[in-house]
Structure 1
Amino acid sequence: MNWQNAIKDYQLFLKIERGLSQNTIDSYSRDLEKLQSFLEENAIKVTPITIDDDCIQQFIYDAAKKINPRSQARIISGLRSFFDYLIFEDYRESNPTDLIEAPKIGRKLPDTLSEDEINELISAIDLSHPQGERNRTILETIYSCGLRVSELISLKISDLFFEEGFIRVLGKGNKQRFVPIHHSAQKYILFYINNIRVHITAQKGFDDIVFLNRRGKGLTRQMIFMILKGLAVKIDLKKKISPHTLRHSFATHLLKNGADLRAIQQMLGHESITTTEVYVHVDKSYLKEVVETYHPRM
């Protein structure tokens, strides 16, 4: 088994067996390609079957000179997953990354925006522009439902259950969940569909997609990033933001206003409550309020 074939088979495994998104698969693949390039540059002739922990350690040591600890940890995690796959398929008996310790990294707290900053961003949208109403609806939808950007661009008209007050979201690993949607966000979506989208001829395969570009195709992740980046510049916002910032803000504002952490976990589509708990650390005032409100000695 050579590296090219092993990586190709692994990509199929990640897509079919684990149901990962193409972006995640590409990220795993890039780390393996870096390892392959390192081996070629140093004339180290090993296959995915014969490579050992010493060789992996050399690669990690070389990579550490160029990347930060968080990226190192991600690469080690990706390699560990790849060799676990080879063990699963009976190509190997052991994982050469088992004895390699990932660098210690602190928990990275997500950036958030205040309610005023979000309102300012949305107010900065030029509604006289042909895509103005669409862009406002996009921001309102992400913030109202806490969507990932991949979930937003794949949202379908058939996923809208407004009478029940929910939308159906296809999340990571092709897992479906139903997320409540506020009536104001429903209003913006319906206005966009009935007054803007109706004048766009949807291309084949995009008939059911909610948000379309001018050519009738679905939006890309990059387009959503550019919309937000342009608005941030327009209002002179000094924070570095992305669509995920709106998702983080959604969760943080819910928690701050008294929402249950388990409910937030379900709405965000987090598999583990540990992932959701990061929002407790974002706003420490919430913890203080909980003690002051519910402790019998207060």
Structure 2
Amino acid sequence: MPGKQWAKNCVSSRLCYSTKVLPVSEFAAEIDRFLDALWMERGLSRNTLAAYRRDLSGFARWLGEQRQSTLLAARREDLLAYLAARIADEAKPRTTARLLSSLRRFYQQAVRDGYLQVDPSDRIEAPRLGRSLPKSLTEIDVERLINVPDTNTALGLRDRAMLELLYASGLRVSELVELRVLQLNLRQGVVRTLGKGSKERLVP
């Protein structure tokens, strides 16, 4: 299994990964500073920023417990050991790759801001990701799903409209739930929405 072999090539030992919680104040300031800079520069969504926070907080806790170290004092071997421990703990390759991406972004920003001279995540290879085929609904499945809401009720009408809009426009669920009436142009038949990275797009 590629993920397992990758873990063995880095550093093995399930024992080096712990889930005990350290006081958030020990690493929160470093993470907050990074997330503020990321939001200012790239305008990332709240969900994306929250994912960065989870990844960095988990690594920071592990550093404090297992290495008596901090985010800005971490070495390359610390990152390798943590990633290997996550894989040994049954983390999926895609999850591990995302975690490494979060760490890279954090340390690249720390070098740019002058907090570090050397990026400890440099030249660390991510585990290989297998290609998964997309799952799609048949036309009959879609019709059944759309017909589930009870259109005799206001709530059912709302749900039916949401399902119809998702099916017809290809909107993301996150875009749909954030949609406002002012973003609908019924005359032109388009929806104005903000996608990933706060980029505006018109959806027919």
Give the TM-score taking structure 1 as reference length: 0.57
**Deviation (angstroms), 1:52:** 1.1
Which digits, 9 at most, give the CA deviation of each residue in 1:241-279, with x for residues without a partner? Answer: xxxxxxxxxxxxxxxxxxxxxxxxxxxxxxxxxxxxxxx
Q: 1:9 aligns with which of 2, 9, 33?
A: 33
Asked if 1:103 corresponds to 2:117, the answer is no
Unaligned runs of 5+ in 2: 1-25
Higher-RCO chain (CA-CA 8 Å, sequence separation at least 6): 2
Per-residue CA deviation, residues 66-108 of structure 1 (Å, 9 max, x unaligned), is 2121211111111111111112212122321122211111223
The answer as to 2:62 corresponding to 1:50 is no
Whole-angstrom distance in 2 between the partners of 1:20 and 1:55: 28
The 3-state SS of whatever aligns with 1:134 is: helix
- C-alpha separation between the residues in 2 aligned to 1:38 and 1:71? 17
Q: 2:152 is matched with which residue?
A: 128
1:160 to 174, 181, 184: 184
Q: Which residue in 2 is equivalent to 1:64? A: 87
1:36 aligns with 2:60: yes
Aligned counterparts of 1:14 and 1:128: Cα–Cα separation in 2: 47
CA RMSD of aligned residues (A): 1.5
Q: How many Å apart are 1:110 and its aligned residue? A: 2.4
Residues 86 and 96, structure 2, Cα contact 8 Å, conserved in 1: yes
Offset at 1:153?
A: 1.2
How far does the alpha carbon of each residue in 1:20-48 deviate from its partner, in whole angstroms, 9 at most, with x for none? 11111111111111111111221x23333
- Please give the per-residue CA displacement for 1:152-182, whole angstroms capped at 9, x wherever unaligned: 11112111122222110111111101111xx
Task: Name segments (4+ residues, structure 1) moved above 4 Å.
Answer: none
Q: 1:114 aligns with which of 138, 143, 162?
A: 138
Quick one: distance in 2 between partners of 1:129 and 1:157? 20
Query: Secondary structure in 2 aligned to 1:127?
Result: coil
Please give the alpha-carbon distance, in whole angstroms, between the structure 2 residues aligned to 1:148 and 1:21: 14
1:131 counterpart SS class? helix
Counterparts of 1:269-280 in structure 2, within 5 Å, are none
Q: Distance in 2 between matches of 1:140 and 1:40?
A: 50
Report matched runs for 1:131-210 at 5 Å. 131-180=155-204
The number of equivalent residue pairs is 178
AA aligned opposite 2:185: F
Aligned to 2:22: none
Pair 78,141 (structure 1): closer, same or farther in 2 beyond 3 Å: same
Partners of 2:63 and 2:74 within 8 A in 1: no
Q: Percent identity?
A: 37
Name the structure 1 match of 2:45. Answer: 21
Counterpart in 1 of 2:18? none
Give 1:13 shift.
2.1
1:78 alignment partner, one of 85, 94, 102: 102
* SS of corresponding position for 1:92: coil
